[in-house]
């Protein structure tokens, strides 16, 4: 039943996408990755990655960075009152959501090892766990033809806004993490939710996320 709902959701969100298209796209992405990505061996010194584009790296064998060694930039002292905080899911959806942290934790999670590079400063390869954006959009009954997802955080003066293609949400390249390396996300790293964005630089990894919006953008 869940598998059927997810398949129906993917077709609804993208509108024109068929199963054959997904198969072909996945195959092409796999071939491109095999041909173009740099395979990082186990034991790679993270300092050698500071000037690399994360989209060009195969991190399958890269060691996980201990949380104590994680670099950090940007806003790091924002405090969230979980009693008042809600994750808003809005935009081109039929049923906007306002989810508590407890509700988010009840959603089947996604877990992925993803490299974050802040160019010239640090590279963190973390094991991230969080909520899949496509699941949130399913719950909110996203409209047909969604092309992009906009992520915002934190609420207020220091809010940052970043936009990602819907395909990155469906493939779980982009999701919202509440744990890293088996531990609750530390405040300085964006608690309660931060964006994990495979293949993107660290300045796209929005911290203290409070809102996502489904959008239809005409090219």
Q: pLDDT by residue (tens digit) across 41-87?
A: 999 999 999 999 999 999 999 999 999 999 999 999 999 999 999 99
Specify the pLDDT at position 153. 97
**Is 28 a residue whose pLDDT tops 80?**
no
The pLDDT of residue 5 is 53
In this prediction, residue 161 carries a pLDDT of 98
Least confident of 15-19, 51-55, 171-175, 189-193: 15-19
Average pLDDT over residues 171-199: 98
Beta bridge partners of 175: 132, 196
Range with the lowest mean pLDDT among 10-24, 113-127, 199-213?
A: 10-24
Over range 163-184, report the average pLDDT. 97
Residue 9 clears pLDDT 70, i.e. is over it = no
Q: What pLDDT score was predicted for residue 147?
A: 97
Calculate the CA 41 to chain-centre distance: 24
The band of 218, judged by pLDDT with boundaries at 50, 70 and 90, is confident
- Domains and their CATH numbers in the chain: 2-215 (3.90.420.10)
pTM of the shown model: 0.84
Q: What pLDDT, on a 0 to 100 scale, did the predictor assign at position 36?
A: 80
Mean pLDDT of 116-127: 97
């Amino acid at each position: 039943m869940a598998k059927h709902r997810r398949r129906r959701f993917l077709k609804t969100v993208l509108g024109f996408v068929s199963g054959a298209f997904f198969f072909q796209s996945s195959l092409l992405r796999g071939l491109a990755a095999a041909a173009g990505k740099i395979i990082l061996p186990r034991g790679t010194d993270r300092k050698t990655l500071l000037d690399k584009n994360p989209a060009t790296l195969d991190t399958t064998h890269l060691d996980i960075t201990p949380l104590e060694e994680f670099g950090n930039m940007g806003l790091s002292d924002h405090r969230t009152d979980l009693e008042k905080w809600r994750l808003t899911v809005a935009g081109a959806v039929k049923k906007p959501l306002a989810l508590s942290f407890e509700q988010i934790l009840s959603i089947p999670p996604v877990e992925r090892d993803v490299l974050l590079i802040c160019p010239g400063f640090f590279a963190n390869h973390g094991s991230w766990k969080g909520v899949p954006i496509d699941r949130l959009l399913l719950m909110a009954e996203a409209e047909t033809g969604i092309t992009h997802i906009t992520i915002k955080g934190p609420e207020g003066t220091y809010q940052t806004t970043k936009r990602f293609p819907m395909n990155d949400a469906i493939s779980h390249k982009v999701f919202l993490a509440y744990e890293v390396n088996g531990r609750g996300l530390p405040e300085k790293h964006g608690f309660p939710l931060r964006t994990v964005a495979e293949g993107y630089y660290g300045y796209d990894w929005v911290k203290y996320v409070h809102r996502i919006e489904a959008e239809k953008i005409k090219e």
